[in-house]
Copies of this chain bind each other. A is one copy, B any other.
Amino acid sequence: MTKVTRQVAVCGPRECTRQEAEWARAVGELLARAGITVLCGGGAGVMAAVATGAAEVGGLVIGVRPDTDRDAVCPGLSAVLFTNMGEARNAILVESADAVIVIGGSWGTLSEVALARRRGGIPVVSLGGWQIRDANGRPVAATVGAADPADAVRRALDGIGSAPAEPT
């Protein structure tokens, strides 16, 4: 009976590319092998892929759903929370995570990046995610870019504890 292990949220589109699904599966596997608990949205696309990757190596994966639909839950989850609060559940994912990894881009995923940066103090790493510019077209550093799944996991885990208020 020790302390709760580190938790990393992995976020990404319901409708994702094959590459994003492969990345997500690899990220899930790498996190599980590192003894990290994976948090995800518990649905399709990137969410399902990361759950599969973690579950295949016996990892702990918690799905946090926007609704109460038992049939919309992806396989591989160790447990599911049915928040019944729509996309506001993205805030719960972000608040519960010691680090966030985003794979690919979508409006829901962007809200998770924004909420994670609004919270501050945790690493937000992206694989192929969207980028932000200010009103004058200058880049706004939203996430730590990663080259591949292993790099994403490494950057997320390295960032935990060092707690950078402003990842760049």
Contact = CB atoms under 8 A, between A and B. Distances in A.
Contact of A134 (B80, B92, B105, B115): B105
A60 B59 CA distance: 12
B140 A135 contact: no
Q: Which secondary structure dominates chain A's binding surface?
A: mixed
A129 interface: yes
A53 to B, nearest CB: 11
A13 to B, nearest CB: 11
A168 interface: no
Contacts of A7: 79-80
B55 A1 contact: yes
A5 B96 CA distance: 22
Given A95-B83, A130-B135, A131-B137, A56 B1 contact: yes
B115 A111 contact: yes
Given A37-B78, A83-B85, A110-B110, 4 more contacts: A78-B79, A80-B96, A85-B92, A104-B135
21 contacts: A1-B75, A4-B78, A37-B78, A78-B78, A78-B79, A82-B95, A82-B96, A83-B85, A83-B92, A85-B85, A85-B86, A88-B90, A91-B91, A104-B135, A106-B118, A107-B117, A107-B118, A108-B114, A111-B115, A130-B135, A131-B135
